[in-house]
Structure 1
């Protein structure tokens, strides 16, 4: 488990948007597959059918509720896509990377 996965979004103080190298340094702490696209941190998981994608979506939802930080989730037959951004700062924040690290620790994909 990375240091990010042991943190809680609720414990963070005032947030600022992460840009360039700062965001990339945190992305490097995550499992492969996470990509920064504009102001969003995304990962697409491949599954063998719809049911595993749906189960994964429920796990993502559980983590999101616990952390109080909710991603956009897209799923269909054979995939689940998770996209984090922090609307309050207009881009990426440490919250996005904490939640991604928690998903990595659960070894979803």
Structure 2
């Protein structure tokens, strides 16, 4: 099943962050995203023609995050919205982060 078709699942007790090789493999499935924060998070900066459209996109990402129960850090400015995912409970990356990245990518087609 493709990442964009998956749903987020709660982390199990004792879950470990993805190994670097696992994160790299999943990263290949989410175009435009990159590893940041010493490979403990992923992010993508989306460009928009103005602030209003960047803010509207952030609102759509927020709605998706509420649906899935997995929330990003959003940074919005004139003409951009940066989205960053990291699973705080495990202090690193989980498959949910990549599921959400794929779902966010789908918002922009």
TM-score calculated relative to the size of structure 2: 0.89
Indicate the residue corresponding to 2:75 in structure 1: 74
Indicate the residue corresponding to 1:16 in structure 2: 16
Write the deviation string for residues 59-90 of structure 1: whole angstroms up to 9, x where unpaired.
10011001100000000101100000001111
Indicate the residue corresponding to 2:48 in structure 1: 47
Unaligned stretches of 5+ residues in structure 2: none
Write the deviation string for residues 6-47 of structure 1: whole angstroms up to 9, x where unpaired.
11113x56242012110010010112x200012110000111
Alignment: residue pair count: 105
TM-score calculated relative to the size of structure 1: 0.89
CA RMSD of aligned residues (A): 1.4
Unaligned stretches of 5+ residues in structure 1: none
Equivalents in 2 of 1:3, 1:49: separation in Å? 32
- In the TM superposition, structure 1's runs of 4+ consecutive aligned residues that sit over 2 Å from their partners are 12-16
